[in-house]
Amino acid sequence: MNAPIKTLLVDDQASFREAMHILLELDSSVEVVAEAANGEEALKLTTEHMPQVVLMDLQMPVMCGAEATRRIRDRHPGIRVLVLSVFDQEKDVFEALRAGASGYILKNTPMAQMMDAIRVVAAGQTYLQPTIATQVVAEFNRLSRPIKLSGEERRIAGLLSQREVEILQHLVRGMSNKEIASALSLTEGTVKNHMTRILDKLQVPDRTGAALKARDLGLG
């Protein structure tokens, strides 16, 4: 049996933290190791407990969730942040993703789906619930236009093979590894290998970061 996923719960509302703590630990696959009421506490408790996943609210006093996410990812790149929010506005979603969040889910999401999100993020993947994923893909498509690149951006883009560019373009459209493999007549394992090399070349931690970087490079 796998060890439970060590999770830090961050929200400024004590009643929400208490309810979430109880609900999460009804599932033996999750262990809530600590709770924080703001981003500053989250930084301290992350270093102290080294959770695998941080469940992060965005709107908090002292330090907001986006800034806390950015600092956690800078200090502990292996720790994943899953944003829990009552808002699904594009501004909030993209701010969280740019800060390094590996997932974004609404607080009113059914618990079973929330548990799936935690497991997916803990495994190093990205989780966006469908309504938010649709916004992300639409924004990528809207912004996909010729971009004037800096010398460094041209250098990074030049590191990618044609196949890697094709995979990135499908990734930006919100496709999974399995869907990309089918579209390009590749095995899923081959796509995963390409994805590993893409993350290394783009110097990003996960698929979300790769999609954002691809958009910045005009590859989406």
Q: What are phi and psi of 175, to 5 degrees?
A: -85, 145
Q: Between 158 and 74, where is the model more confident?
A: 74
Grade residue 4 by pLDDT with cuts at 50, 70 and 90.
Answer: very high
Buried b (16+ CB within 10 A) or exposed e, 24-57: beebebbebbbbbbbbbbbbebbeeeebbbbbbb
Dump pLDDT digits (tens) for 67-105.
Answer: 999 999 989 989 999 998 887 666 778 888 888 899 888
Do residues 171 and 136 make contact, with C-beta atoms less than 8 angstroms apart?
A: no
pLDDT higher than 70, residue 126: yes
pTM over 0.75: no
Which pLDDT value is given to residue 90? Answer: 67
Q: Between β-strands 30-36 and 53-56, what pairing exists: parallel, antiparallel or unpaired?
A: unpaired
Which pLDDT value is given to residue 8? Answer: 96
Q: What span, in angstroms and rounded, lies between the C-alpha atoms of 62 and 47?
A: 18
pLDDT higher than 80, residue 142: no
Q: Between 27 and 8, where is the model more confident?
A: 8
- In angstroms, how far is CA 106 from the centroid of its own chain? 14
Which pLDDT value is given to residue 43? Answer: 94
Helix (H) or strand (E) holding 106: strand 103-106
To the nearest whole number, what is the mean pLDDT of the chain?
A: 85
**Cβ within 8 Å of residue 119, ≥6 positions away:** 5, 29
Which pLDDT value is given to residue 138? Answer: 60
Do residues 56 and 35 make contact, with C-beta atoms less than 8 angstroms apart?
A: no
Walk me through the domains of the chain, giving residue ranges and CATH numbers.
5-137 (3.40.50.2300), 145-216 (1.10.10.10)
pLDDT higher than 90, residue 54: yes
